[in-house]
């Protein structure tokens, strides 16, 4: 495995690279680097390299189906090329894989633009949007809403332990959007000021449940108790097809020192990175093809992504 690829794996694992889209993009970049620098002389050797790198990337962050789906696409494409073009030269195959991977970047950008266009229509003119953590898709929606002339404000929860809410506020404030920051524990108070909630997504299960930054489920529960609509903005690539077969999303546990450095040994410090929000608390998923009810997302995602039920 190339050193640059190993560095990307480390940075994804350490959260130096974070955010589902950034992680997926970096993973594809790693695959491109490995393929371009590969010394493989045969197609089976190249395929083995691709699998090795794919496994290392997928294992670097358990709760990132967008990355896994992107890697699976690259692996399936390679295998299909080998099967349908047995006489294909290995160097030609390398170029084909890189071209396919680059097209994924273009698709990501197009999907992001469509989601931002759809989402901007939901942002209430003169209203208040509450969000949690940092999502480039959510901030993109807010920017698009401002571009079309809407006036609104955003409340970002600080989102311990990494304080991604600060990133959200700074990005939006720099864009000229009125923002405020609140501690996570004040969500019940802040919800009384909100007209809607919008968050991103790390993963979506076959049941329509949302896996996102820890605290998201609390936001959704409080939103429902106060009759505030709760939406998740997410590409269909964030659907995890493995959950259709009973696989449960792993809730990653981060270092205890992020919560309490130097804590007494007798104190067990818990630091889950994500939580699950049940589908019944989600008004809808805002995707590149429009709004989708949580219960319908798995079937639509399966069709759109071309996933083979018999062998994903």
Give the domain ranges of the chain.
3-112, 123-305
Asked if residue 206 has pLDDT above 60, the reply is yes
- CB 88 within 8 Å of CB 255: no
**Is-contact 56 196, C-beta < 8 A?**
no
Sequence-distant (≥ 6) Cβ neighbours of residue 94 within 8 angstroms: 35, 36, 38, 46
pLDDT of residue 88: 83
Question: What are the helix (H) ranges across the chain?
Answer: 3-13, 20-37, 43-60, 65-84, 90-122, 136-147, 164-174, 187-191, 216-225, 297-305
- pTM of this structure: 0.90
Write out the two tokens for 249. Answer: 């999303």
Among 1.10.240.10, 1.20.120.420, 3.40.50.12780, 1.10.510.10, what is the CATH number of 3-112? 1.20.120.420
Q: What is the mean pLDDT of the chain?
A: 94
User: What is the pLDDT confidence band of residue 310, given thresholds at 50, 70 and 90?
Assistant: very low
**Residue whose C-alpha is closest to residue 159's, from 184, 138, 180, 131:** 184
Q: What's the pLDDT band for 307 if we cut at 50, 70, 90? A: low
Residue 102, pLDDT > 60, answer yes
Q: Which residues have a catalytic role annotated?
A: 133, 202
pLDDT for the residue numbered 231: 99
Share of the chain above pLDDT 90, in %: 82
Collapsing DSSP to helix, strand or coil, 237 comes out as helix
pLDDT per position as a tens digit, 278-298: 999 999 999 999 999 999 999
Q: Distance between CA atoms of 312 and 309, rounded to whole angstroms?
A: 6
Question: Could you report the per-residue pLDDT of 228-282, keeping only the tens digit for each?
Answer: 999 999 999 999 998 988 888 889 899 999 999 999 999 999 999 999 999 999 9
pLDDT band at 76 (very low <50, low <70, confident <90, very high): confident
pLDDT at 242: 87
| pLDDT at residue 312 greater than cutoff 60 | no
Write the burial class of residue 163 (CB in 10 Å: 0-12 exposed, 13-18 middle, 19+ buried).
middle
Beta-bridge partners for 151: none
| Per-residue confidence (pLDDT) for residue 48, from 0 to 100 | 94
Q: What does the DSSP 8-state code read for residue 160?
A: T
Distance of CA 200 to the CA centre of its chain: 7
Average pLDDT over residues 147-156: 98
What span, in angstroms and rounded, lies between the C-alpha atoms of 152 and 157?
17
The pLDDT of residue 28? 95
Poorest-pLDDT segment among 77-81, 142-146, 262-266: 77-81
Question: Is-contact 297 285, C-beta < 8 A?
Answer: yes
Question: Is a pLDDT exceeding 90 seen at residue 143?
Answer: yes
Answer yes or no: CATH 3.40.50.10470 is held by domain 123-305. Answer: yes
Structure tokens at 256: 């205890």
pLDDT for 308: 45
pLDDT score recorded for residue 79: 87
- The DSSP line for 47-60 is HHHHHHHHHHHHHH
């Amino acid at each position: 495995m190339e050193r640059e690829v190993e560095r990307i794996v480390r940075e994804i694992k350490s959260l130096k690279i974070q955010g589902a889209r950034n992680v997926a993009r970096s993973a594809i970049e790693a695959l491109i680097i490995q393929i371009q620098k590969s010394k493989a002389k045969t197609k089976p050797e190249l395929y083995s390299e691709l699998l090795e790198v794919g496994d290392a990337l997928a294992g670097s962050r358990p709760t990132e189906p967008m990355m896994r789906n992107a890697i699976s696409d690259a692996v399936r494409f390679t295998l299909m090329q080998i099967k349908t073009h047995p006489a294909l030269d290995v160097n030609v195959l390398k170029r084909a894989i890189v071209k396919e991977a680059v097209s994924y970047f273009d698709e990501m950008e197009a999907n992001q633009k469509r989601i931002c266009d759809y989402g901007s229509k939901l942002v209430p003119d003169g209203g208040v949007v509450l969000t949690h953590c940092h999502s480039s898709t959510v901030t993109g929606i807010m920017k698009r809403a401002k571009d079309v002339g809407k006036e609104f404000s955003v409340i970002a929860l600080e989102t311990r332990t990494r304080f991604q809410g600060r990133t959200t506020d700074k990005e939006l404030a720099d864009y000229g959007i009125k923002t405020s920051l609140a501690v996570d524990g004040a969500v019940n108070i802040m919800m009384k000021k909100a007209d809607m909630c919008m968050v991103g997504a790390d993963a979506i299960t076959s049941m329509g449940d949302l896996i996102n930054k820890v605290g998201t489920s609390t936001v959704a529960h409080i939103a429902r108790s106060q009759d505030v609509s709760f939406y998740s903005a997410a590409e269909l690539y964030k659907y995890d097809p493995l959950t259709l077969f009973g696989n449960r999303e792993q809730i990653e546990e981060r270092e205890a020192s992020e919560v309490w450095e130097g804590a007494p040994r007798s104190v067990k410090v818990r630091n889950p990175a994500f939580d699950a929000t049940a589908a019944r608390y989600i008004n809808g998923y805002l995707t590149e093809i429009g709004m989708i009810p949580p219960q319908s997302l798995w079937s639509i995602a399966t069709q759109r992504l071309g996933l083979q039920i018999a062998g994903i």
